[in-house]
Structure 1
């Protein structure tokens, strides 16, 4: 799966999409593949503050449990209930229907371009 150029990526394998006043966050296909079949998702509540670099949720698969790290600091304004109800969508459509949360970001942590992330993961 090719990496959308307009997104930014973290070394913890999250992606960030700038949507004006908000950012949308999800995990990369690399992370989804490493996890395997995702069976449970714990996301922060709407209104909760998250801190860049800190754990803000969990993804549980048939292989393991992995923390979801916040790539930004800010207030959660939306969570993807569809992904929580059917976590398989995170693996099958990580850049589309598998998004996880939207945040009114105050600060963004360290991010990579698509090319930098591909190099980081050995994809290019």
Structure 2
């Protein structure tokens, strides 16, 4: 079964085996507004935890997407180049940004579960 964790930067990471799928949360896409451009990282790129590795641009702003954990990019969501609106329509589904092979599963322990993330978002007021 997949485990989903969240960051304070509003990324989600869904882990199945040793591969993590990364995207932005419903809250993040609401804050961005209509997404008009997405840049995903290249396959084979090694990323450190917290490293900016993708970009999302909306009608309001451009934001970096950070790697919630360290690893090697194994897939970028190329469909977002033609359909950046998928990030708004399905941020936790087909609007995912990239997949990476985990370097250290223990890094997941520092991330929030859904209940903690929901409480975090509510605290933002």
TM-score, length basis structure 2 = 0.90
Aligned counterpart in structure 2 of residue 101 of structure 1, from 94, 98, 108: 98
Tell me if 1:67 matches 2:64.
yes
Distance in 2, matches of 1:36 and 1:29, equals 11
Gaps of 5+ in 1: none
Q: Which has the higher helix share?
A: 2
Distance in 2, matches of 1:76 and 1:18, equals 14
* Cross-structure match for 2:78: 81
Runs of 4+ in 1 over 4 A off after TM superposition: none
Gaps of 5+ in 2: none
Instruction: State the Cα RMSD in Å.
Output: 1.5
Aligned counterpart in structure 2 of residue 10 of structure 1, from 7, 12, 19: 7
Deviations 1:55-97 (A, max 9, x none): 1111100000111111010100001111222110011101111
Distance in 2, matches of 1:113 and 1:21, equals 18
Distance in 1, matches of 2:12 and 2:81, equals 18
Preserved CA contact (<8 Å) 2:54 2:97: no
TM-score, length basis structure 1 = 0.90
Tell me if 1:43 matches 2:27.
no
Task: Give 1:6 shift.
Answer: 3.9
Aligned residues: 119
